[in-house]
């Protein structure tokens, strides 16, 4: 199992290398050179597995020879022992055809714990193994956060051997709980940096640090944001787990339409990879707040930055540019922008990297780029999208809290539930066997100001 950069200048990288490097040297994001083929009997063989057992089987498909099956299992078991329920990501039913997949049962009560507990253990494992062979290997992890990534990264990396972690967050743009979760951790290897600006400003600083090759080598920089492939990989597991849970409760023909609150695109990208691996999915639905670059792309075919970030009740989604969208765009370029006359797979991949690099350059210099009608049609075959304003976020929280049975949503999950309800006729038209599964990305207590409003 080897990995390449979306920008085309780096390829043939091992799983261990892409985990420790995070961002490719050419500024691109790592993707598998080929997706693995799941066992022919996975739908029956994996149907009754626990979450850690299922995660082990899926992750093992992507690690090549860098980890044995036993090592993957041990890392996964260690990672999810920190969660407050053995199900790890339990599913709750809101009504006959709407469900919430609760991803907030980890140490910081956010979905990012699912990936970052695992990533922290991966960092420590690989570094200890390298130091056993030749000493002196350390990692300086630098990350940007709009709130949840920072605390989840800190709790995943605190006290880890040979790892220093620096987290940048935008001052005044994270909730009080999120800030406290980050800044009250006093482990010597944890460092918080408050930035005057937005999440995008924090992310730009991180990307600039990674672009300085000498600085990057000198300090052994590692990435903890969802640009790190291991985070996407870990999140694939809960799509499969939700699929099996839905079929156990609603029959063998039940099919999920996943509705995902989306900011940096990493969460729903994991759903795209799950579907690409063969997971039966009726539809993937992107739910955005007022920072709606993804929704606008699917409506127009133009990916265009707004002039500024709008502050909303769902701050983890207050992002101008969705970094992980680059990974999906690479597949869009390979399959729908490269001429059909190019038949060699490696040549198609190389051409896709060239197209992707041109798009990213236009985004940086002109603030936007557009894809072809064919590529836009293909994107719409995979994704639907919807937008939720602040008023709708508050009203959705209130409506479900006062409904019987009562359920308390955090503002990010409320964005997803609102979009699911708005698209209910379209989802219903997919068939009576299709159920909306809304990913709940954080515990409501983390955003008490918005919830109590």
Q: Which contacts of 307-313 are long-range, i.e. CB under 8 A and separated by 24 or more positions?
A: 308/198, 309/198, 309/199, 309/200, 311/173, 312/390, 312/393, 312/411, 313/289, 313/390, 313/393, 313/394, 313/411, 313/447, 313/450, 313/453
Residue whose C-alpha is closest to residue 238's, from 424, 72, 52: 52
pLDDT in tens, 46-73: 999 999 999 999 999 999 999 999 999 9
**SS3 call for 319:** coil
pLDDT in tens, 179-229: 999 999 999 999 999 999 998 899 899 989 988 989 998 999 998 888 899
Tally Cβ neighbours within 10 Å of residue 53.
Answer: 14
Residue whose C-alpha is closest to residue 182's, from 197, 172, 193: 193
How high is the pLDDT of residue 223?
A: 87
Confidence of residue 428 (pLDDT cuts 50, 70, 90): very high
pLDDT in tens, 389-400: 999 999 999 999
Give me the active site residues, please: 112
Confidence of residue 136 (pLDDT cuts 50, 70, 90): confident
Q: What is the mean pLDDT of the chain?
A: 95
Question: How far from 69 is each of 66, 278, 280, CA to CA, in Å?
Answer: 10, 21, 25
Confidence of residue 175 (pLDDT cuts 50, 70, 90): confident
C-alpha 89/C-alpha 92 separation (Å) is: 10
Question: Would the pLDDT of 307 be above 90?
Answer: no
Percent of the chain with pLDDT over 70: 100
The first and second tokens of residue 47, run together, are 């149907």
CA atoms within 13 A on the CB side of 226: 30
The mean pLDDT of 429-439, rounded to a whole number, is 97
How high is the pLDDT of residue 440?
A: 97
The first and second tokens of residue 216, run together, are 């990057």
Confidence of residue 94 (pLDDT cuts 50, 70, 90): very high
Confidence of residue 120 (pLDDT cuts 50, 70, 90): very high
Question: Would the pLDDT of 147 be above 80?
Answer: no
How high is the pLDDT of residue 7?
A: 96
Confidence of residue 404 (pLDDT cuts 50, 70, 90): confident
The mean pLDDT of 237-255, rounded to a whole number, is 97
């Amino acid at each position: 199992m080897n990995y390449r950069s979306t920008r085309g200048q780096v390829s043939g990288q091992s799983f261990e290398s892409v985990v420790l490097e995070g961002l490719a040297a050419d500024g691109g994001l790592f993707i598998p050179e080929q997706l693995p083929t799941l066992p022919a009997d996975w739908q029956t063989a994996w149907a009754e597995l626990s979450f850690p057992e299922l995660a082990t089987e899926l992750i093992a498909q992507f690690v090549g020879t860098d980890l044995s099956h036993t090592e993957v299992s041990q890392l996964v078991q260690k990672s999810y022992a920190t969660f407050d329920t053995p199900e790890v990501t339990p599913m709750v039913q809101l009504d006959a055809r709407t469900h919430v997949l609760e991803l907030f049962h980890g140490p910081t009560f956010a979905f990012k714990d699912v990936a970052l507990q695992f990533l922290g253990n991966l960092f420590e494992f690989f570094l200890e193994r390298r130091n056993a062979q030749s000493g002196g290997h350390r990692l300086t992890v630098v990350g940007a956060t709009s709130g949840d990534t920072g605390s989840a990264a800190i709790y995943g990396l605190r006290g880890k051997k040979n790892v220093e972690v620096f987290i940048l967050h935008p001052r005044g743009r994270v909730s009080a709980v999120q800030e406290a979760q980050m800044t009250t951790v006093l482990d010597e290897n944890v460092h918080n940096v408050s930035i005057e600006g937005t999440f995008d400003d924090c992310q730009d600083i991180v990307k600039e640090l990674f672009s300085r090759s000498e600085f990057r080598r000198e300090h052994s920089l590692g990435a903890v944001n969802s640009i790190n492939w291991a985070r996407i990989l870990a999140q694939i597991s809960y799509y499969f787990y939700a699929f099996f849970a839905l079929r156990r409760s609603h029959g063998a023909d039940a099919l999920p339409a996943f509705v995902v609150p989306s900011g940096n695109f990493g969460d729903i990208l994991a759903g795209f990879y799950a579907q690409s691996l063969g997971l039966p999915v009726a539809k993937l639905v992107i739910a955005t707040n007022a920072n709606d670059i993804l929704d606008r792309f699917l409506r127009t075919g133009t990916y265009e930055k707004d002039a500024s970030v709008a502050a909303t009740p769902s701050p983890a989604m207050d992002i101008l540019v969705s970094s992980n969208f680059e990974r999906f765009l690479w597949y869009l370029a390979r399959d729908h922008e490269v001429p059909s006359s190019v038949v060699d797979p490696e040549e198609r991949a190389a051409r896709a990297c060239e197209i992707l690099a041109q798009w990213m350059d236009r985004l940086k210099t002109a603030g936007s780029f557009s894809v072809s009608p064919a590529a836009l049609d293909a994107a719409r075959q995979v994704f639907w999208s919807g937008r939720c304003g602040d008023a709708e976020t508050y009203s959705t929280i209130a409506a479900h809290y006062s409904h019987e049975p009562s359920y308390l949503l955090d503002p990010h999950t409320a964005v997803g539930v609102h979009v699911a309800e708005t698209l209910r006729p379209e989802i219903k038209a997919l068939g009576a066997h299709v159920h909306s599964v809304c990913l709940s990305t954080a515990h409501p207590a983390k955003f008490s100001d918005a919830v109590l409003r």
